[in-house]
Structure 1
Amino acid sequence: MYRFLLTPRWWGINVFVLLAIPFCVFMGSWQLGRFEDRVDSHRDAGEQAASNEREAARPLTELLPVTKATAGKQTTASGTYGRQLLVPDRVLDGKRGFYVLTLLRTPDGKALPVVRGWLPGPAAPAKAPAPPSGEVTVTGALQASENPGENGVSAAGGLPSGQTAAISAASLVNLVPYDVHDAWLTLNRGDAGMRTVPVAATPDTGLDLKAFQNLGYTGEWFVFAGFVVFMWFRLLRREAEFARDAELGLVPDEEERVPSPSGT
């Protein structure tokens, strides 16, 4: 009854099934591995953040350029404050407000963006306290430059003068006449009564949408593998029932099943 399995048609079906199932299992396992890597990265990032808070601040020059290993570490820098900008549409504890960003001119001739604090409400220069004058030394957490459109950072253009959507050297270099470090610093304590801006998570280290997409893809690939097996058994059963009916004479001959041209 199962001699049909030796036909060319079923050889093709069987080969497809034997290739499709391992492929789906492999892809599902790979996506699951990606999700587990992100879980481990999220846990490591949490442990690293706790470790960074306990470490002593190091000079800025020792931590540049910013990497996953140095992002969030305590650093110290000296210089004089220069131009001040506002970063609108920043949420803190569920409230919308803005960052007060001031460029610190360092001895190497570049400027370090320093987020001095957060204020609620729409961005307005009159609300932002003026930076201290003269030589200052700041201490805070080192951060990597932001990418517009990612991690909640606005990519909107056309902002009023004195505002920037992203804290990045690529954006700020067009707003000031001097070079800018490809990094920024958030003070450990908000300046002039402003609220402290918490340390941002290092990109690609959290349980974000990409992580749960990997988990979703894992389920999809395993479902595909199960669907292939289900369809193979369904075709097998239908073909076996047809062969059994043919052996019992319950299936009409081909000539009887094909109507004549005259319709008789």
Structure 2
Amino acid sequence: MYRFLLTPRWLGILALTLAAAAVMVLLGNWQLSRYQERAAINERIDETATLAPVPVDHVLPRPDGPAGTVGPATPAGAAWTRVTVTGRYDSTNVIMIRSRTVASRVGFEVLTPLRLADGSAVLVDRGWIPPAEGGGALARPEVPAVPSGEVTVVGRVHLSESKPDAVTRRDGRIETRRIAVPALARELPYPVYSAYLLLDEQTPAADPAFSAIPIRHENDWQNGGYVVQWWLFAAMALVGFCWAARREARGDLKDGDRDRLGQDRLDQPAPATPGG
């Protein structure tokens, strides 16, 4: 009944079906790994939110190179850890990060190097401020002055953004689109930690003109949906092949094929009757 599956045509269909199903399963597995990675990030964000901060050099490798360089790479597991550090803000090297969106509004994030007692610095994202009135999204606003004297910062570790953008100086301030720490460090006269901090708390208190940078959770459910989608497609391909084979085996032919088969039978000579 199913010997037709050994014909070249059906063997080719089977090979194509299996190859397509295998590719879909692999795509589903890849999306599953992305789901697991993103879910782990979300769990870490939630877990570290309530933990007491630890000294920054307990989490981030200390930079010990020359001025304009970054320290050793930050371990991926250090992301979102709450740390505390004390130093003095460098008001001469304020960094403006343009075209950043908070609460559906485009403005600037303001990074300021915090100089530590050992001569190194860590970049602190002090928050978001809107552009200057009437000047469009790129109109540079007035930035609140940094506190004088020593400042103690509590913040969340944020890994350097991977896509650097051109770094320029305008009116004495550094400006760019991406927070790529190595590119920014080249503009600074001291070594810099390889990650930066999102400000949570500051002593003395931060200026109320700043809006806190929200920590966005990863969209892991999207990847989870893709996993189900690709695996369903693989199953549908196999079920479709089985359905087509079953249909073929039952002789469920197209109307044209059935008509031709009937005509062939009419053209055959009638069998001789016994005794005729």
Q: TM-score, normalised by structure 2?
A: 0.68
**8 Å CA contact retained: 1:87, 1:164:** yes
Aligned to 1:78: 86
SS class of match (2:192): coil
Deviations 1:8-41 (A, max 9, x none): 4267347637844863674366356436525xx4
Residue 199 (structure 2) aligned to one of 187, 212, 220: 187
Cα displacement (A) at 1:188: 1.1
Structure 2 equivalent of residue 167 of structure 1: 179
Q: Is contact 1:70-1:142 (8 Å) kept?
A: yes
Which residue identity does 1:73 align to in structure 2? T
Q: Which residues in structure 2 correspond to 1:90-239 (within 5 Å)? A: 90-121=100-131, 122=137, 126-148=141-163, 157=166, 161=170, 162-189=174-201, 191-198=206-213, 200-201=215-216, 205-207=218-220, 213-233=226-246, 236=249
Question: Does the residue aligned with 1:187 lie in a helix, a strand or coil?
Answer: strand
Conserved? CA contact 1:116–1:186, under 8 Å: yes
6 and 81 in structure 1: CA distance in 2 versus 1, 3 angstrom threshold: closer
Q: Which amino acid aligns with 1:130?
A: A
* 1:12 counterpart = 2:11: yes
Shift of 1:213: 4.7
Per-residue deviation, 1:86: 0.8
The alpha-carbon deviation at position 169 of structure 1 amounts to 1.7
Q: Secondary structure at the match of 1:181?
A: coil
Q: Which runs of 4+ in 1 moved over 6 A?
A: 238-241
Distance 1:176 1:222, change over 3 A: farther
Unaligned runs of 5+ in 1: 149-154, 254-264
Alignment-derived partner of residue 77 in structure 2? 69
- Aligned residue among 51, 55, 59 for 1:55: 51
Q: CA deviation at 1:179?
A: 2.3
Q: 1:201 to 1:3 in 2, by over 3 A?
A: closer
Larger deviation, residues 121-130 vs 139-148: 121-130
Distance 1:4 1:10, change over 3 A: farther
By how many angstroms is 1:99 displaced? 0.8
Using the alignment, how far apart are the partners of 1:17 and 1:125 within structure 2? Answer: 58
Which residue identity lines up with residue 53 of structure 2 in the other structure? A
* Change in 2 beyond 3 A, CA 1:32/1:227: farther
- Structure 1 215/196 Cα, relative in aligned 2: closer, same or farther at 3 Å? farther
User: Does structure 2 retain, via aligned residues, the 8 Å contact 1:21–1:225?
Assistant: no
> TM-score normalized by structure 1?
0.70
Measured on the aligned residues, the alpha-carbon RMSD in Å equals 3.9
Shift of the 212–123 alpha-carbon distance from structure 1 to 2, 3 Å rule, reads farther
Taking a change above 3 Å as real, the CA distance of residues 251 and 27 of structure 1, as seen in their structure-2 partners, is farther
Provide, for residues 74-94 of structure 1, a one-character-per-residue CA deviation record: whole Å limited to 9, x for no partner.
111122222101111111112
Distance of 2:266 and 2:98 partners within structure 1 = 76
Identity %: 22
1:163 is matched by which residue type in structure 2?
Answer: E
Q: CA deviation at 1:231?
A: 4.4
Any unmatched runs of 5+ in structure 2? 62-73, 132-136, 269-276
May I ask how many residue pairs the two structures share in their alignment?
241
Q: Any conservation in 1 of the 2:154–2:199 contact (CA below 8 Å)?
A: yes
Which secondary structure does the structure 1 equivalent of 2:207 belong to? helix
